[in-house]
Amino acid sequence: MYSCTVTMHPAPRSAAVVLPHPFSEPVSRLVREESERLRRFVLRHVGNGPDADDITQQAFVEMSCHYDTFRGDSKPSTWLFGIARNLIRNHLSRTPERRYDFVGEDALAEQTDPRSDPAAQAERVQMIRILDRSLAAMAPDLAEMLVMICADELSYEEVAAQLDLPVGTVRSRLSRARTQIRTRMRQQGAWLDD
């Protein structure tokens, strides 16, 4: 049986996950290749940097400790993101007040982009507001799938594995979601590039 030793905080930097030889290379490769993308994925869902760091770390720990149970039905990165998605759901269910950061529209004014002029910035802010309203008006499962593929840059296969759906269903729902988002945005005066 596979063993995993985890030392939690506070610990010296040398204390970490101890892995047996057969799994150390694939796990290390996943950590190197997916850590930034996984953190962005988690951060987008929890909206809090320290919580995102904790959940990302926990996802890697869970993956390391249970690598021997990985069946190989999907890519290891898909399995890792599925672990992270479950940890995110658990986190959000325990802390519903952290799901959203309720700020006024004035908070957007503080966000500046030095590369653009004020007119372009105002247009971008307006487009983001329209996009947010359009996503909020969609069925949650369609909006989530659209974000997973377009913002998180997951493949159809990765989304299918995470949501436990056939790839064909993901493709058809994504097509429906794209049509809905375009229609909703056009109704509000915004056009997305096709």
- Please tell me the total count of domains within the chain: 2
Q: What is the pLDDT of residue 2?
A: 46
Share of the chain above pLDDT 90, in %: 13
Predicted TM-score of the model (pTM): 0.47
Cα(58)–Cα(80) distance, integer angstroms: 11
Q: How confident is the model at residue 170 (pLDDT cuts 50, 70, 90)?
A: very high
Residue-wise pLDDT for 43-96, tens only, equals 888 888 899 999 999 998 898 888 888 887 778 888 888 899 999 988 888 875
Instruction: Kindly state whether residues 127 and 91 are assigned to the same domain.
Output: no
Last residue of a domain, one of 66, 96, 126: 96
CA atoms within 13 A on the CB side of 178: 12
For 23, the enclosing helix (H) or strand (E) is helix 21-46
- Based on DSSP, count helices (H) and strands (E) in the chain, helices before strands: 8, 0
Q: Is residue 36 part of a domain?
A: yes
Q: Which of the listed residues 96, 130, 156 is the one where a domain comes to its end?
A: 96
> Which range marks the domain in which residue 151 is found?
116-187
CB 34 within 8 A of CB 76: no
Q: Are residues 147 and 86 in the same domain?
A: no
As a whole number, mean pLDDT of residues 106-117 equals 65
Q: How far is residue 143's CA from residue 136's CA, in Å, rounded to a whole number?
A: 8
